[in-house]
Structure 1
Amino acid sequence: MLPNLTNPKHFKMSDINKLQNNAEGAEEINNTNNELNNTESTNNTSAEVDDFESTVNSKEESNLKESDDVDKLPNETDTKDEEITEEKASATENDEVINEIEESNAEDAEDEGNKERHTIEVKEYDSMSLEALAIELEKLLKTEKVQAIKKHVDSINGEFKTKFQALIDEKKEEFLNDGGNEIDFYYSSPVQKRFKEAHREYRKKLNDHYKSLEQNLKQNLADKLEIIEELKGLLNLEENINTTYKHFKELQERWRNTGPIPRDKYNNAWNSYHHHVEMFYDFLHLNRDLRDLDFKHNLEKKLLIIERAEELAKDDDAMRSFRELQELHKMWKEELGPVGREHREEIWERFKAATKIINDKRQVYYKEIDKIYEKNLENKLEIIAKIDALNTQQTNSHGGWQKRIKEVEELRDQFFNAGKVPIKVNEATWAKFKDAVRTFNRQKNAFYKGLKKDQYKNLQLKLDLIKVAEDNKESEDFETVTPLMKKIQSDWKKIGHVPRKDSDKIWKRFKAACNYYFDRIHSKRNAASQEQVEAYNKKNGFLTSLKDLKLPKDKEKGVEILKEQIKQWQSIGRVPNDKRYIDGKFQKTIDGLLTTLKVDKTEAEMIKYENKLDSLVNPDDTKNLDNERNYIRKKIDEVKGQINQLENNLQFFTNVDEDNPLVKEVHTNIKKHKQDLDVWKAKLKKIKGFY
């Protein structure tokens, strides 16, 4: 039964051994002259190779010349030259693909434990945030072998540095806009610290890995060179051919079991090894049946590899097919021996043909990727153009600049999420983007530097208000200072922005001074409230006792008693605002008692007013008395105006009887207003007596 080739990783020496019972060799020689450096044994081998090849090449050249003489007709010369040129170009292209595969396998061979290098998912690191990049790096370190993630880590590290530098530039501009000095700028963030720790761990693990690997690689190389030397010695042994062949098989097994070697020695070592294996077969004149059986089994196995390659050539997943093709080339070279000379060129050309088809599909895939990259480039250039367009706009307000800043931040995010661009224009595109953003930032900085001047003026204005607040916060003149404190609070709101670094500090000073003052007022009011409650209780009791007051029949004595009652009432003090109705009750009670003394309204009003004036008079401060005088004059003017209006209204009632209800009402109102006018004039005269 043929081995399963669906997964080439299972197609190893265990499968080959089922088909082979005897001989096993190595791969055909791509470059027999590549020898290991700095080894005397290899130099000796090169001499043997030259002797052997000179014989073979002379025969091949003779055959080629004879073939050319027969096949090449005079009129076909140009056509033949073109065909040869095309063949050379095709061969060169194939050689490049083969070399690429061999270089990749050589890298893989340096560490045989690294078998999953091609299966790690390559994510769109350019669209990730800083935090997402740090998390992805930590995840790779935790789940993958350190030697397998170098390309991933390099990509992640590059993206992180680019995005973090952009963030630093932004923070630096903010710092400078706030009045900071460039030499004092410093910025770090938790995500930066997190990424640095992960990257530091990666470098440590990688160094530890290579330190442990280096010694093993050197020893394995020495072991393989020793095997090559022993292979060379087999040609000169004078012993039974079966014993020699058994020794040969043991050397092959030792070669396979020897661990990885340095990648820069990989191809030379394999080529030298295969060369000496073929030398052994070519000079093995005895027991040709055994050799032919070995060739047959190797041919069968290589045909299976070719068939699998041809199946992969039909697969639509170009990248997956190419990865598996690398494994097939590795098996062809490392695990299989030579075939008969008559088949070598044929099967190798067939294998190369399948390789070319798979590689062509890979190139088509890359071209499709290039189209995506070109589209990403278009998007990024459009984003840069939008930023350039914003740079041409004129903005002269803080609000306008905040809007533009938000737009540029959105465009920056779009740029970073737009995906990769062709590598040949990557640096140029990034430079254009940085230049556009830098131009925007310069314009923004210029605006805010100008704004700084206004902000420092505003700062001085607010400092002046703070001084007023702090100078008056201890004042006891609440009536004068309270309006002042309210005014400076209103003025504070009207003053514009100040530098951000001072904003909180001065606001706290101003607020503290204002709060201190108003807290004192509130504490005074709370104390006064208790006094007012007590005053209300006293007035309530006083009012109750007043109802039982008995006045003498003598009018003057009765008036004097009532004046004394009024003084006592006023001496009790103010009551809470919601209890002031008790003053009205007192006035009604006094009015009733004055009525019993047959005192007219004007005289009664003046009796009550005299007591009010006594409370207003202050030899050191006439402010309250002045306010009262101004108030009375205003009332006199209002009453006179009302009387004039009513008298003018009477002119409209021509030829109307005096008994008409409307006319009578107007006369009544005029009379009432004149009485009020006499009272206000008497009050004004009374006030003038205090000056």
Structure 2
Amino acid sequence: MKEAEEEASTLSENPEKHTSTETGVIDADQPLKSSEIEAVATDIPETHEAKAESSAKEEDESDNEDESDSDHEDELKDYSNFSKAELVDAIKEISHSDDFRQADRILKEIKPLFDEIHDEERKVALEKFLAEGGEETDFSMKHDELTDRFEANFQLYKDRKRKHFKEQEKQKDENYKKKLEILDRLRELVDGEETITGLNVIKELQKEWKAVGQVPGNQAKTLWANYNALLDRYYDQRSILYELKELDRRKNIEAKKELCEKAEALADSNDVPFAIKTLNDLHEEYKHIGPVPKEEQEPLWQRFKAASDAVYDKRKDYLKDLKEIQEANLEKKKAIIDKIQTYLEFNSDRIKDWNAKTKEILAIQKEWENTGQVPKENAKEINKSFWSNFKQFFGNKHEFFKRLDAMREENMKKKQELVNLAEALKESTEWVKTAEKLKQLQNQWKEIGPVPEKYRESIYKQFKTACDAFFENKRAGNQESEKEFKENLKAKEDIIAQIRQLEPGDLEQLEAYEQAYSKLGFVPRNAIQKVKEHFSDAIAEFIEKSESVLSEEQLAKVKLMAQLTKIMAGPNSDRKLNQKEHGLRKKISDLQNDIITWRNNLEFFASSKTADKLKKEFDQKIEEAEKEIALLKKQLRIVRSVD
């Protein structure tokens, strides 16, 4: 019984305090007054287990603070080169974040940068205002949209943060009220006469107490002291239930042993940050498990502490390895910066080349992002170096497109001049002279390069409409030419008939007929489309019956002529011919570039069996490409010969 009484004097839920004071021992048979409870809260000494757990808690909290403050802070972006709009996007992103700690760190970086940009804008605006004769006292700078958005998101973040912590304090007050209510119910049980059923209710109250969250800091110590004192009184007053209590403590032994095993297993984990976090959770759980028999308290704690120390030792090695990894990442990122610097000198007058380089530099960006963290003291400088080079490349690309746009604008002016000339000539009745001038304008049009995409169709339509108007007037106004048109129609129909009678493969005669056909003048308006279709059909028939006797090059040439005659027979023939010409020019240009690349590659091959074989392959590619270019140039001459 004496042992039971001594055991009952320890704490049930958390063995941190005895109910003895410096002035004496609290009577277990009398209810505690409020003043006595307060005395217990301040004067009771700690047991061995309470001291050990308190020490563990302090160590855990210290480790957690170190982890969060230094070891595992996410590396911030380098915002120093962000534009005003990018800074607005950045604050907009964090204004909705629930990670207020990280958000504060980012805000500390971007707010001074934004203020610096705003101050510079204000300075420029003030200088302009003074230069225009204004007085400084009259100056007032209106916020632009970006400033308004930045301040709105900044205020939104402050409001959300204030609301978050206000709600936390409110929740702590609610928790405080809940714990006071639990203490009242516990006090009723302690002072009541029910002992058997009261024990079950005590266990439920202990679960409720544990489930309640944090309370205001100035109330926590008193609450815990009152709670533990009431539990201690409960067990002291009911020594008859000692055996049940002893059984409960034996269960607590098993629970704490299980936590020891879990802590020991963490020493084998390779995920050190996870192991530290899990260990902190185990310490919190260990603290809330009820008391164990006195003889088991110290051995259990020493076992748990030894497992914890093993994890903390591994953490030290991890931090050392982490530093080495970060140093290795620093070297990798320096190499990436050296790689990207080679792109700063790139220049080309072709969109295709710029797009290819853009793909390469975006792949380098991906490589940069996939490289891990670097030492914190180097992070800002190396990020600034990479992103400044990255932005410089795209700045160079932007300048290229600015020049390209300027060239297209200049081409637009030139084509607009041709439109004006064509419109000035469209009402002319000097048929022969004006027709020749318009043909010259059409040839000049073809030589001028591209115009801005949004004007390409409209400017061409203006030019074509002016030219078509003249030739329509020419046909309508020149009645005397109608007889000649009919003769031309008959001559073209005769040529078509002769083409249909050609022997398979007689390409020379076909070309003679095609030249004769192209030299013939206009035909009656109502017969234009029909005779074009007949001519196209005749060429197609010749191809079909000559496929087996013509060479591949000859066949390609004839097919091109057939294609061109078909285009000429259809609507929008001029535009389609231009597209065909553009396509041939592009193929020639691409092949010429390939040849240059292959010849450059040949210079890098050393003398060896493998190199000789590769050289032979490249020579063959170059030879085949040159043949194809020659064929394409022939086709281009044919296309340009078509009116």
- TM category (shorter chain) comes to 0.3 to 0.5
Give the structure with higher Rg (CA): 1
Greater relative CO, 1 or 2 (CA 8 Å, sep 6+): 1
